[in-house]
Amino acid sequence: MKQLPLHLLHLLALLVAIHQASCSYKDRMKAILINQQGVKVHPDIPIAVYNVSLNDMPKTRWMGVIQSFGPAKAKMLLDTVMKSIFPDELRPLIDYVAGRLDDYIAQPFADELRGVAEQIGADLGDVVFLNLMYEVNAGCTSIVVQDSQGNIFHGRNMDFSFTDVLRNTSVIINFQDQQKTVYSAVTFVGYVGILTGQRPGGFTITVNERDENAKILNALVALVDRKASPVSFLVREVLEHQNDFETAVQVLTDRDLIAPVYLVIGGLNPGEGVLITRNRLMKSDVWRMNETDYK
């Protein structure tokens, strides 16, 4: 079997199988190739690819995606999440945050959330909750491995229960600056953070469940620690602003988070794979590829 050249960066095997719990093993193993130009989708994978311009105003930059995809389909995901996992005890808190969005959500995310809510015709509080889905109901696993030729493979799945809806709202987004892709994500329409992303020529990141059954504590951290970031927002910031694997690892290790998380990062070069075990306010462990014990 022909080996992948190193510059192809990563096979993110199982990315589309994120949402396909009922599909066959063969279908699950279809892959998305990530190269220097962005994302190339296997021709048999029915997933739409969109570009989001970082040069557009935050409130309108998702408009093209939502209008092309269909506002009603996007709202379907939101309604399903609210019915499936929204804890009633958090409704007053979500409404409070939505009413004071700029106090709790940094730009450009605050205006992006406003724009998404307007474009799909949804309550802003519901859109805020959708984008805090990891902090309330995490469910993800992933791996990073290296073959004998030094090629890095980064695979993941997500373990949310509403797979039919996720399968039908999955998209690939290329985030572009002056029509050049800076980073890409496999995500859901209406979700502006990133749980699965890559920066061409740099690194890949996946967010993975570290569930401590502490929804209320996560919420309190969000209110009290204004420096703490939702996990998916920090991942997107790192993909947008950091150029290389080691710098990405450092930022993801040091920044305050609302919720604990396992972060898996893959790089371009042999040996560039790491699992970061994060507490909210500090790292717990950093385990690098080929190490036999945690640090």
The helix (H) or strand (E) run that includes residue 3 is none
Across the strands, what pairs with 145? 153
Query: What are the residues whose beta carbons fall under 8 Å from the beta carbon of 155, sequence distance 6 or more?
Result: 11, 12, 13, 14, 15, 142, 143, 144
What 3-state class would DSSP assign to 131? coil
Residue from 158, 186, 182, 157 nearest 173 by CA: 186
Known catalytic residues are 140
My answer on whether omega of the bond before 108 falls inside 30° of 0, hence cis, is yes
Residue 83 structure tokens: 């019915």
Work out the number of other CB atoms within 10 angstroms of the CB of residue 175. 21
